[in-house]
Amino acid sequence: MKFDKYHITPELKRSLSELGFLKPTDIQFKSIPQILSGQDILAIAQTGTGKTAAFAIPIISMLQNQRYREAEQNVSALIMVPTRELAIQIKNVFDDLAQHSAIETLAIIGGVDIEPQILKLQQGVDVLVATPGRVVDLVHKGNLNLKKINFLVLDEADHMLDKGFYADIQNLLKFLPRKRQTMFFSATINETIKDLAYALVSKPVRIQLSPKDPVSKNVDHAVIFVAMDDKRFFLERVINEHSDKKILVFVRTKVRAERVFKAMERVGIVSATLHGDVEQEQRFEVLEAFREGKTKVLIATDVSSRGIDVKGVEYVVNYDLPDVAENYVHRVGRTGRGNHKGLAISFCSDEEKPMLTEIETYLTKPIKTMTLQHTDYEETLAISEDNPHDWRALMKEANEEPVKKKKK
C-alpha cells in the first residue's frame, strides 16, 4: 500500500512524494493506521527501520485535520528523546514532512541560548521535542503546561532509561492528562521498560518487528581479533582501503575518542570526534560536515550513537566493543538504514572476548570472524605510517646514522 492511498492530508502526501517516500516501511505500515485510529502504541523495532516517520506522519495529519491547541495550551504533541542530537533529528523530520502546512515544531536542547527557545514555546508550538530532564525543568518553571497535551511520544525509551531518565519520566506522570494518545517506541525491551510502558499507555496495540534479530538484515557483521595496542593500525588500514566511504568509528570513552583522533591525525587521516565534551555548536558543525561528506571519518562514543542519523554511512567500526551488549545494536544501526546495505566491523582484543560472547548471545547468533593470517597481521602493522618499527622507519633511521670511522 502506497502513501497516496492512506487517509492522511493532501499536504502531507505532497511532502512525502517530494521527499521520495512512496511506500511505508514495516514499522510504518503497522503503526500509522493504528495511530490514526486513536490507539495507544507499544512498538519494538530495530534502529533504522523508520520509527520517527511512523509517529510523525499520523501526528502531523491529525494536527492538520483538527486544530488541537487551545489558547492557553502551548503544546499539542510532546516527544521525549534521550539526546539532543536525536531531538534535532526528529525536529528535522517533522519540518520536512510538515513543509506544506502550518504545523510548527520546536526542539529545546541544552548547550545553546535557552531564552529564544523559551520565548517561542510560550508563544505556542504544535510539537515539542526535548529530553525528559529538560521537560521536567520547563514544567517546574511554569514554561510548559502538560495538562492539555493530546499526543505523547517516548522515542528510544530503552536509551532514556540507560541515561537515568526513569525518575524524570515518573515525575512527569502527575502532570500529564489522563485523556491523551501515547506512543512508546524502543529498539529493545526488558522488564523495566515494560513497567514504564504500561504505566503510560492504555490498552495499547503492541507491535514487535523481528524480535529474534534486533539488528537490521541490511547490516553484515564481522569481527577481527586484534591486540588492544594494534587497533589503530587496523583502523588506519580500513580507512585507507575505503577512503571514499563514510566511516563511523565507535570507542568506549571520550578520552579514547581523542586518542584515536590523534592517532589518525599522525598518519594524515582527517577525522572528527563527537562526545560529551564537544560543545553544542561544534557538535552541529561536526555532524553537518559528516553529513555532507566533507569529513569522511567520525569518531564517537555511545552517548552519541542514537543521535547520529546520517545518510550513506557504509561502515561502522567498533574500535572498542561497547560496555553493554544492547549498545551494539544501536551502534550498527547507524548503517544499513532503510533499503541501503551496511557493514559493521568490530575489533576485539583478548580482554574484550567476554563482551563479544554477551553480544552474540543478545543477537542469538555468532558474528562472522574475519580470519587473519599471521602475514596479514604483520603487514597491517608494517604498512602503517605510525609504526616506529616498520621497515621504512628502520631504513630512514639507518640512513640518518653517521658513519663511524674505523680505528687504525
pLDDT single digits (tens) 192-203: 888 888 888 888
How much is the pLDDT for 371? Answer: 76
What pTM, to 2 d.p., does this model score? 0.66
- Would you say residue 252 has pLDDT above 80? yes
How much is the pLDDT for 195? Answer: 83
Residue 140 is placed in which grid cell?
Answer: 517546574
Going along the chain from its start, the domains and CATH numbers come out as 3-208 (3.40.50.300), 219-386 (3.40.50.300)
- Would you say residue 285 has pLDDT above 60? yes
How much is the pLDDT for 29? Answer: 92
How much is the pLDDT for 66? Answer: 75
How much is the pLDDT for 392? Answer: 46
**Per mean pLDDT, which of 254-258, 374-378, 382-386, 390-394 is the most reliable?**
254-258
How much is the pLDDT for 196? Answer: 84
- Would you say residue 218 has pLDDT above 90? no
How much is the pLDDT for 375? Answer: 75
Q: Point out the least confidently predicted range of 58-67, 70-79, 281-290.
A: 70-79
Average pLDDT over residues 42-50: 79
Q: How far apart are CA 40 and CA 203, in angstroms?
A: 7
How much is the pLDDT for 391? Answer: 44
Average pLDDT over residues 274-296: 83
How much is the pLDDT for 210? Answer: 59
How much is the pLDDT for 388? Answer: 54
How much is the pLDDT for 389? Answer: 52
Which position has the higher pLDDT, 59 or 46? 59
pLDDT band at 205 (very low <50, low <70, confident <90, very high): very high
Q: What is the pLDDT of residues 341-367, one digit of tens each?
A: 888 999 999 999 999 999 998 888 889
- Would you say residue 394 has pLDDT above 50? no
How much is the pLDDT for 180? Answer: 92
How much is the pLDDT for 72? Answer: 64
Question: 288 near 240, Cβ under 8 Å?
Answer: no
pLDDT band at 333 (very low <50, low <70, confident <90, very high): confident
Q: How does the average pLDDT of the chain come out, rounded?
A: 84
Which position has the higher pLDDT, 373 or 286? 286
Question: 229 near 276, Cβ under 8 Å?
Answer: no
**Per mean pLDDT, which of 57-71, 98-112, 389-403 is the most reliable?**
98-112
Which position has the higher pLDDT, 74 or 351? 351
pLDDT band at 382 (very low <50, low <70, confident <90, very high): confident
- Would you say residue 20 has pLDDT above 80? yes
- Would you say residue 71 has pLDDT above 50? yes
Q: How far apart are CA 301 and CA 150, in angstroms?
A: 35
pLDDT band at 70 (very low <50, low <70, confident <90, very high): low
- Would you say residue 6 has pLDDT above 80? yes
pLDDT band at 408 (very low <50, low <70, confident <90, very high): very low
How much is the pLDDT for 338? Answer: 63
